[in-house]
């Protein structure tokens, strides 16, 4: 009987997982023993780090968007239609057109979505670099018209995509204004709910040193409450208020609508309850979640989605071919670049058990960030896995014997041996 693998979400994680599975299971696909169906809202695949280049360097939005079908390997069937409902217990997916698809294994890679409506007044006033390349373009246009005043870079909700991105925005705004020769006419302030310039204390040291050199001010413990469009101010739950001429905001994020509608999400933000090592959706042994969509305590970043895709495609292949005893678990490896202007960068690197270490910005790291960006589209096909294996080193470990599971029947909870 054919084993049907469904993947919902054709972004970073979903696309790579589909391609890696298609390569590993190509023989089984040819013999009609396995099918892979990838569901995406539409044909557009966005390279999201490009938003920063659009917003702060004037790059064209179009260059960061490609057609999903061109990124897929033979063996992946792509259905460009929104999924409206997912029934995990009945193993069924409903599509916008009314069609239904069944699955034996399901991977949820539905990402996270910006939700500026979560803060009163923010939708009207905020300029966003997390909503997509075309929204990011509005920042570039606003910066070009800017002649002086207060620029606020405000984190208005956590967790959000790419933890370093707000800091990058502050550095790149500073750099842009210096190039234009009007830096002295602007105050740049960084508003964050964290107690320091970056969540990790060691990375915060580097960021604070660089903020100090550029005269970027910081307001910590700022939990955004509301924006007052009339007076052009933003206020926090703590009672602080700052006025702005430009409000560059990281909006609150939440899980995809289909996860909310299908009642899969675990809390008010609708992140999918996911085992942080095995990546299965809790209480299901045939459903997995990767990338931004999960509630795993790590960064919402492309690198995490990528490493989880690699691990999951190996484990699922082992499961399909009956080698479950060889399964591995994710060690929480992250590796997020932070561009700091002046062609310098750092990489925030950690695992579940090792926190990030202090580091100094360098040109080499900046060039590495740019190089990873250039590799993105071919990396979606799995072309650079040999290089990433060398670079990332160990990203998973073997299952402990007590973690090996008795295979439960349909929808039964996982049972440890």
Ligand X SMILES: Cc1cc2nc3c(=O)[nH]c(=O)nc-3n(C[C@H](O)[C@H](O)[C@H](O)COP(=O)(O)OP(=O)(O)OC[C@H]3O[C@@H](n4cnc5c(N)ncnc54)[C@H](O)[C@@H]3O)c2cc1C
State the number of binding residues for ligand X (CB under 6 A). Answer: 36
Using CB under 6 A, pick the residue from 19, 35, 51, 233 that binds ligand X: 51
Cβ atoms of 25 and 75 closer than 8 Å: yes
Phi and psi for 33 in degrees, rounded to 5? -95, -20
Question: Comparing C-alpha atoms, which of 176, 182, 169, 159 is closest to residue 58?
Answer: 176
Cβ atoms of 367 and 282 closer than 8 Å: no
Window 25-44: contact mask with ligand X (x via CB under 6 A): --------------xxx---
Enter the tokens of residue 79. Answer: 């259905």
Question: Comparing C-alpha atoms, which of 119, 85, 53, 152 is closest to residue 253?
Answer: 119
Distance CA 228, CA 231 (A): 6
Which residue has its beta carbon closest to ligand X? 11
Using CB under 6 A, pick the residue from 7, 10, 154, 274 that binds ligand X: 10
Q: Verify binding: residue 376, ligand X, rule CB under 6 A.
A: no
Distance CA 398, CA 358 (A): 29
Q: Find the part of the chain contacting ligand X (CB under 6 A) among 103-111, 211-219, 315-323, 385-393.
A: 103-111
Closer to ligand X at the Cβ: 130 or 278? 130
Q: Verify binding: residue 330, ligand X, rule CB under 6 A.
A: no
Q: How is residue 294 annotated by DSSP?
A: B
Question: Comparing C-alpha atoms, which of 254, 278, 277 is closest to residue 266?
Answer: 254
What is the smallest separation between the CB atom of 412 and ligand X, expressed in angstroms? 27
Window 124-163: contact mask with ligand X (x via CB under 6 A): -----xx------------------------------xx-
Phi and psi for 189 in degrees, rounded to 5? -125, 140
Gyration radius from the chain CA atoms? 22
Closer to ligand X at the Cβ: 232 or 343? 343
Q: Which residues pair with 127 in a beta bridge?
A: 248
Closer to ligand X at the Cβ: 73 or 236? 73
Q: Verify binding: residue 83, ligand X, rule CB under 6 A.
A: yes
Q: Name the helix (H) or strand (E) containing 338.
A: strand 334-339
Q: How is residue 322 annotated by DSSP?
A: T
What is the smallest separation between the CB atom of 74 and ligand X, expressed in angstroms? 21
What is the smallest separation between the CB atom of 210 and ligand X, expressed in angstroms? 17
What is the smallest separation between the CB atom of 329 and ligand X, expressed in angstroms? 19
Question: Comparing C-alpha atoms, which of 161, 337, 146, 156 is closest to residue 252?
Answer: 156
Q: Verify binding: residue 79, ligand X, rule CB under 6 A.
A: no
Using CB under 6 A, pick the residue from 37, 38, 49, 174 that binds ligand X: 49
What is the smallest separation between the CB atom of 300 and ligand X, expressed in angstroms? 5
DSSP per-residue letters across 183-245: GGGEEEEEE-SSSSSSSSHHHHHHHHHHHHHHT-EEE-S--EEEEETTTTEEEETTS-EEE-S
Window 230-259: contact mask with ligand X (x via CB under 6 A): --------------------------x-x-
Q: Verify binding: residue 300, ligand X, rule CB under 6 A.
A: yes
- Which parts of this chain interact with ligand X (CB under 6 A)? 8-14, 39-41, 48-49, 51-52, 82-83, 109-111, 129-130, 161-162, 165, 256, 258, 291-293, 300-303, 305, 336-337
């Amino acid at each position: 009987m054919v084993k049907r693998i469904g993947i919902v979400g054709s972004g970073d994680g979903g696309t790579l997982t589909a391609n890696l599975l298609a390569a590993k299971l190509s023989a089984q696909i040819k013999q009609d023993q396995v099918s892979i169906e990838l569901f995406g809202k539409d044909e557009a695949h966005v390279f999201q780090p490009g938003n920063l280049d659009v917003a702060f360097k004037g790059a064209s939005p179009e260059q960061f968007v490609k057609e999903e079908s061109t990124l897929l390997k033979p063996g992946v069937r792509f259905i460009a239609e929104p999924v409206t409902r997912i029934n995990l217990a009945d193993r069924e997916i409903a599509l916008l057109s009314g069609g239904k698809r069944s699955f034996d294994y399901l991977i949820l890679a539905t990402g996270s979505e910006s939700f500026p409506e979560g803060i009163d007044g923010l939708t009207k006033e905020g300029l966003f670099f997390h909503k997509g390349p075309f929204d990011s373009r509005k920042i570039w246009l606003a910066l070009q018209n800017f002649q002086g005043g207060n620029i606020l870079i405000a984190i208005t909700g956590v967790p959000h995509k790419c933890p370093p991105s707000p800091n990058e925005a502050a550095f790149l705004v500073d750099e842009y204004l210096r190039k234009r020769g009007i830096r002295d006419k602007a105050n740049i302030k960084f508003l964050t709910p964290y107690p320091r310039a970056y969540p990790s204390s060691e990375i915060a040291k580097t960021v604070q040193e660089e903020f100090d050199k550029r005269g970027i001010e910081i307001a910590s413990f700022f939990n955004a409450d509301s924006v007052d469009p009339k007076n052009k101010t933003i206020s926090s739950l703590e009672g602080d208020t700052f006025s702005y001429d430009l409000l560059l905001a990281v909006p609150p994020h939440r899980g995809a609508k289909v996860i909310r509608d299908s009642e899969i999400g675990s809390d008010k933000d609708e992140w999918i309850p996911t085992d942080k090592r095995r990546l299965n959706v809790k209480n299901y042994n045939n459903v997995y979640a990767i990338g931004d969509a999960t509630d795993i305590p790590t960064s919402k970043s492309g690198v995490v989605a990528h490493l989880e895709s690699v691990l999951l495609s190996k484990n699922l292949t082992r499961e399909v071919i009956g080698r479950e005893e060889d399964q591995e678990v994710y060690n929480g490896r992250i590796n997020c670049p932070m561009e700091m202007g002046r062609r310098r960068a750092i990489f925030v690197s950690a695992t579940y058990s090792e926190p990030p270490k202090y580091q100094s910005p360098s040109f080499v790291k900046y060039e590495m960030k740019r190089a990873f960006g250039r590799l993105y589209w071919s990396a979606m096909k799995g072309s650079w896995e040999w290089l990433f294996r060398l670079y990332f080193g160990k990203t998973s470990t073997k299952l402990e014997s007590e973690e090996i599971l008795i295979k439960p029947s349909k929808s039964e909870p996982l049972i440890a041996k």
